[in-house]
Amino acid sequence: MSTSNSGVAAPRGRVVRSGPPRRLKVWQFLVLVAIYLVIVQGVSALLTSGQDVAYGAPTSIDHLVRMIVLPVGLAAVFTLGVAGYLGTWQEMFVNDRPVRRWLVVIPLTLFGTVAVITNYPGLASKGLAFALLLLVATLMVGFAEELMFRGIGVVVFRGNGYSEFKVGLWTTVLFGAAHGTNIITTGPKALVQVVLTSATGLVFYLVLRSTGALVAAMAAHGLWDFSVLSGQVDPDRSWPLANLAGVTLALMLLAVLVWRRRITPAATSGDSTSAHRGDRAEGGTDD
């Protein structure tokens, strides 16, 4: 049986259409990010209206549901719908662009830091149900935000001819800027959060590159948020190890800054020409 380029043969003579994946312009991606933020911020503001809830400091199961679970859950459904429409699942979830092996230190350091700085006594005082729901909620945040920025965003910027350095830069900047909308609930302190989330966004991008898996970046994001938020579950007691998160983050970024030109392996002599052509097609090099 012959088939056309627009479909593949299926049992009993049926033809299943399988056209090329859809592509977005950068401005269209920005519109999607804006819609995502409206969903998260709008639903959260609606559900927490009149509640004594401080942003980023959930103290009860009800607060978790109102602040994170429902708003992020709806945003995740929206993001999954966009990803399904684009049809670029393989490109989003599998990153096969090589990096130096030493970069695996980034995810290992991040996961190690999470294990150290998590506020286990504070979580224990809140009970198992609260701790598990906080874990689920932050993993939902990791899933939704990484799918939007390191999944869809990376594919969009690559598809529009940006070099890999600019892909990492702009998805990181947009990730940080998106958190500036928290100025609605936290005031000027949101500007500090923009800087911090930009830094963590770069780390999550490096987790994606070093592991080759978007799922790893999602897990890193969710567990990082879990450890950070665990230090704020008891407003009356500060968690001293929380400061270690910022120090570790700074050290990871310093290492990347120093070794930036050694992140991407040099092309071998046998494939240097094709690699050079690929870089020109992307609009530059990884550096």
Q: Which residue has the higher pLDDT, 156 or 279?
A: 156
Beta bridge partners of 17: 7
CA dist 98 and 265 (Å) reads 7
- Confidence band for 17, pLDDT divided at 50, 70 and 90: very low
For residue 95, the SS3 value is coil
In the predicted structure, residue 77 carries a pLDDT above the cut 70 = yes
CA dist 252 and 259 (Å) reads 11
Q: Which residue has the higher pLDDT, 106 or 8?
A: 106
Least confident span in 6-10, 57-61, 171-175? 6-10
Average pLDDT over residues 20-33: 93
- With beta carbons less than 8 A apart as the criterion, state whether 55 and 43 touch: no
- With beta carbons less than 8 A apart as the criterion, state whether 116 and 248 touch: no
In the predicted structure, residue 286 carries a pLDDT above the cut 90 = no
In the predicted structure, residue 261 carries a pLDDT above the cut 70 = no
In the predicted structure, residue 283 carries a pLDDT above the cut 70 = no
DSSP 268: P
Least confident span in 30-39, 206-215, 218-227, 258-267? 258-267
- Confidence band for 279, pLDDT divided at 50, 70 and 90: very low
For residue 213, the SS3 value is strand
Q: Which residue has the higher pLDDT, 53 or 76?
A: 76
State the DSSP string of 170-199: HHHHHHHHHGGGGHHHHTTHHHHHHHHHHH
Average pLDDT over residues 174-202: 80
In the predicted structure, residue 5 carries a pLDDT above the cut 80 = no
With tokens 């230090």, the residue in question is 231
pLDDT of residue 258: 72
- List the structure tokens of 160: 């529009």
pLDDT of residue 101: 84
Confirm whether pTM is higher than 0.95: no
Element (H, E) at 7: strand 7-9
Q: Which residues contact 43 (CB under 8 A, 6 or more apart)?
A: 70, 71, 74
- With beta carbons less than 8 A apart as the criterion, state whether 71 and 39 touch: yes
What does the pLDDT look like over 81-99, one tens digit per residue?
A: 999 999 999 999 999 888 8
Q: Which residue has the higher pLDDT, 263 or 108?
A: 108
CA dist 125 and 114 (Å) reads 19
- Confidence band for 212, pLDDT divided at 50, 70 and 90: very high
Least confident span in 75-79, 212-216, 237-241, 266-270? 266-270
pLDDT of residue 272: 40
Average pLDDT over residues 196-222: 94
How many CB atoms within 10 Å of residue 187? 10
User: Positive or negative, the Cα torsion across 64, 65, 66, 67?
Assistant: positive
